[in-house]
């Protein structure tokens, strides 16, 4: 489980105790944890053993499916525009959204004991609920990695109450994405339509559909409240270019779609920032630009490799100009550290080496003498996130990028061959 200080959460797990039917939210979750009872559609089933799922994924020569058509209808008489838009989104996209249920023989390991009694005789219990959506008619379903990472069995429930067992095709912890697959025979699968990140802007009206607190088929709405957020992934890595929204995102929404007015997916809901472990108006979605790269690779190869340079960087601020020996008008990224045996070290990139004393210790690095990155492949960079976003959107391991750097007051270009991010 990852946290953004002071209280950003993976909407990861919430507990439904059978006794008293009390919901307890754990730190940072968008999944719903249940103990003892699970509701499927309009009926409930007691926990118990479920049969093994067969491996059905065929990952050879995966072809991106054609985009389904979205029908935009004029609002009926007497209905305001916003209501008509939301109704249109819900009617067209809700059939594509699924409830993802994770079965395990033990409670989640990152919190206190959640089950009143452990299962026996090798039985599996439904302990985690999240969301997902249909990617294509071949049965592939997208959700969050943190929803299914501990799963022993995965079950998906469609809007009409039908249920299927799913195989985990692959997971990518660095983008918090995972792909499932069901046998599509007998199911009426309705793939989502995907939008473009370049069309997303702050103030855009958006909607989320998912299963908050296990309440399947719930729609919430709001706006894009910020763009370009970096949210935590595993260890020291982050997910750049993420979308911030004030649409209500709660435990159980993890893995569900964030949608524009046309009903196109622009992100996958993944985290919240909240002191009360529930929606506080600040949620985060993995951007469609990353989803479009990661998901096809997982389908075809079972994994996705992120580009890696091997540097730690800091955005240059004018207040640091005197310490760094640069004009206040300079813009770029300070290379604070170059990790050994990485593409950056092999390319000869230099990190900061000389300690300095500064009254702006909270803003300026306490060392100098390294390189400053001003552009990647001819694209100017101002912040370190600009570098990360470029690598995620446009590059793959094995590609060679050209870094424009400033070294000892002289501008030069350095070719750097990217590697795959270490596991």
Q: What is the pLDDT of residue 105?
A: 74
Q: What is the pLDDT of residues 310-352, one digit of tens each?
A: 999 889 888 888 878 889 999 999 998 999 999 999 999 999 8
Respond yes or no: is residue 306 known to be catalytic. Answer: no
Q: Is the dihedral of CA 41, 268, 165, 104 positive or negative?
A: negative
Respond yes or no: is residue 146 known to be catalytic. Answer: yes
Residue by residue, pLDDT tens for the chain (423 residues) are 333 444 444 444 333 333 333 333 333 445 454 332 222 222 333 333 333 444 444 455 566 666 666 555 666 667 788 899 999 999 999 999 999 999 877 665 543 333 334 445 556 666 678 999 999 999 999 999 999 988 889 999 999 999 999 999 999 999 999 999 999 999 999 999 999 999 999 999 999 999 998 899 999 999 999 999 999 886 668 899 999 999 999 989 999 999 999 999 999 999 888 766 667 778 999 999 999 999 999 999 999 999 999 999 889 888 888 878 889 999 999 998 999 999 999 999 999 877 666 666 566 766 678 899 999 999 999 999 999 999 999 999 999 999 999 998 899 999 999 999 987
- Give the architecture (CATH level 2) of 1-304: Beta Barrel (2.40)
How far apart (Å, rounded) are the C-alpha atoms in residues 33 and 44?
Answer: 16
Q: What is the pLDDT of residues 181-205, one digit of tens each?
A: 999 999 999 999 999 999 999 999 9
Selecting among 175, 242, 254, 352, the annotated active-site residue is 254
Only one residue has tokens 């501008």, namely: 411
List the domain boundaries for the chain: 1-304, 307-420
Respond yes or no: is residue 198 known to be catalytic. Answer: no
Closest CA relative to residue 65, chosen from 191, 226, 212, 251? 191
Longest dimension (CA), the chain: 71
DSSP letter for 235, please.
T
Cis peptide before 310 (omega within 30 of 0): no
- Give the architecture (CATH level 2) of 307-420: Roll (2.30)
Report phi then psi at 375, rounded to 5: -160, 155
Cα angle at 93 between 89 and 98, to 5 degrees? Answer: 140
Selecting among 10, 136, 146, 307, the annotated active-site residue is 146
Q: What is the pLDDT of residue 73?
A: 63
| 57: three-class secondary structure by DSSP | coil
Q: What is the DSSP string of 305-326?
A: PPEE--EEEEE--GGGHHHHT-
Selecting among 172, 174, 176, 386, the annotated active-site residue is 176
């Amino acid at each position: 489980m990852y946290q953004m200080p002071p209280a950003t959460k993976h909407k990861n797990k919430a507990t439904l105790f059978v006794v008293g039917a009390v919901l307890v939210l754990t730190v940072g979750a968008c999944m719903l944890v249940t103990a003892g009872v699970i509701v499927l559609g309009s009926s409930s089933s007691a926990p118990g053993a479920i049969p093994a799922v067969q491996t059905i994924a065929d990952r050879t020569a995966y072809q991106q499916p054609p985009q389904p058509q979205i029908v935009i209808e004029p609002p009926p008489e007497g209905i305001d525009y916003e209501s008509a838009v939301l109704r249109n989104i819900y009617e067209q996209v809700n059939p594509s959204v699924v409830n993802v249920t994770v079965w395990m023989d033990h409670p989640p390991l990152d919190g206190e004991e959640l089950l009143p009694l452990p299962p026996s005789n090798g039985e599996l219990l439904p302990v985690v609920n999240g969301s997902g959506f249909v990617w294509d008619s071949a049965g592939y379903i997208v959700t969050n990695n943190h929803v299914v990472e501990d799963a022993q069995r995965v079950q998906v429930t469609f809007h009409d109450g039908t249920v299927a067992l799913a195989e985990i095709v692959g997971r990518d912890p660095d983008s918090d994405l995972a792909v499932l697959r069901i046998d599509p025979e007998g199911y009426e699968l309705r793939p989502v339509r995907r939008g473009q990140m370049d069309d997303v802007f702050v103030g855009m009206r958006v909607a989320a559909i998912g299963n908050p607190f296990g309440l399947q088929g719930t729609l919430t709405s709001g706006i894009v409240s910020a763009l370009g957020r970096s949210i935590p992934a595993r260890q020291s890595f982050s997910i750049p270019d993420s979308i911030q929204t004030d649409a209500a995102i709660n435990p159980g929404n993890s893995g569900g779609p964030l949608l524009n007015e046309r009903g196109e997916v622009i992100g996958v809901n993944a985290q919240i920032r909240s002191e009360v472990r529930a929606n506080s108006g600040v949620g985060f979605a993995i951007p469609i630009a990353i989803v479009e790269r990661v998901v096809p690779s997982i389908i075809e190869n079972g994994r996705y490799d992120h580009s890696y340079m091997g540097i730690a960087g800091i955005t240059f601020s004018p207040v640091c100009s005197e310490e760094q020996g640069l004009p206040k008008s300079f813009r770029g990224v300070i290379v604070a550290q170059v990790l050994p045996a990485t593409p950056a070290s092999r390319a000869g990139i230099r990190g900061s080496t000389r300690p300095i004393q500064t009254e702006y210790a909270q803003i300026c690095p306490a060392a100098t003498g390294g390189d400053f990155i001003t552009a990647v492949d001819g694209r100017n960079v101002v912040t370190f996130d600009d570098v990360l976003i470029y690598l995620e959107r446009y590059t793959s391991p094995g590609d060679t990028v050209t870094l424009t750097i400033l070294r000892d007051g002289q501008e030069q270009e350095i070719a750097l061959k990217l590697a795959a991010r270490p596991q």
